[in-house]
Amino acid sequence: MVFRLDEMPGQSAQYVPIDISLASLFHADIDRSDASHCRGADTLKPMTYQPIENYGIIGNMHTAALVGMNGSINWFCFPHFDSPSVFATILDDCKGGRFEIAPSKQGIKSKQLYWPDTNMLVTRFRSPSGVGEIEDFMPVGLPRDSPWHDQLIRRVKVVRGSMEFTVRCHPAFDYARATHRTTLTEQGADFHSPGLSLGLVTTIPLTRDDRGVRAIFSLHEGQSVVFVLRRIEPDGHCECCLSLDEANALFDRMLGYANHVGLYAEEIGGSGEALGNFPQAFTHLSLISAVFNLDRALGQKT
């Protein structure tokens, strides 16, 4: 990275290269013999860094994550803004850690956008064989004692054709200074470090590697899959998503946020207060979708 020094009278601006790798920031005892390359199984891989304008941001007002246009979360401190990093590839491509979901094929065009009036980031991939999307967000408005409060959700779907994706979840806790233990479970995988434990929940079968987990999967038009990264107890394990009863209770609570004529605001605060104008089509479409899916799930249960 290069920093610009202020111009002095009669002098032109000067630019000074600065080493901001994780090793230089925290004086970690890291071998610099491969400082300009990432060593793979058999070969050396050149470091690649995305321009900062290639990142979108998601968050829950307590922390935030940077998501690249290649579908990789390259910066994420958790559970707070000033917590040590879990993913920090933006600083060190070799050791920083990443949570990447990307098309397996090279040369696919991508773009990012936000759903209107939301902090839901959409990364869209386009290829001759299909169009895929990743929807990234972090829930807000839940009580601090809710087990679903601290979580990062990534939904992958294909809207046209078909597409193969590669997943790599390689956490590097405490700015890549802490070691961690990876355990595969029926629900996904657990990552345990001395200061923080995370669970990755998904229906995609995962394979453990030397840094975390990885997987390759394909989706066809109309199909989707969800990855949920959340905090777990130090000796705990990740659990599946909301039970049917919990989803039903959450839906009933949402219904209570309507105004006296049954309309919903474009934004709703954590305790249910209306923060925007009435009505809001996106809110109502979400409720209609929830009604449909809950009705179908309840029907299957009976």
Q: Measured between alpha carbons, how far is residue 209 from residues 22, 77, 125, 168 in Å? A: 22, 23, 26, 9
The average pLDDT across 66-88 equals 96
Closest CA to 296 of 248, 252, 225, 250: 248
The residue with tokens 């600065």 is: 18
Predicted pLDDT of residue 158 = 96
Over 50: is that where the pLDDT of 223 sits? Answer: yes
Query: 278 or 15, which is more confident?
Result: 278
Give the model confidence (pLDDT) of 40-74 as tens digits.
433 444 557 889 999 999 998 889 999 999 999 99
Q: What is the phi-psi region of residue 222: left when phi exceeds 0, alpha when psi lies from -120 to 50, beta otherwise?
A: left
pLDDT band at 150 (very low <50, low <70, confident <90, very high): confident
CATH number corresponding to 50-231 = 2.70.98.50
Q: Which of 105-109, 132-136, 263-267, 273-277 has the highest mean pLDDT?
A: 132-136
pLDDT of 247 reads: 62
Q: Please give the structure tokens belonging to residue 212.
A: 């975390």
pLDDT in tens, 97-146: 999 999 999 889 999 999 877 889 999 999 999 999 999 999 887 666 66
Segment 251-256 mean pLDDT: 67
Q: Note whether 67 and 89 are within 8 A (CB).
A: no
**Structure letter (DSSP) for residue 6:** P
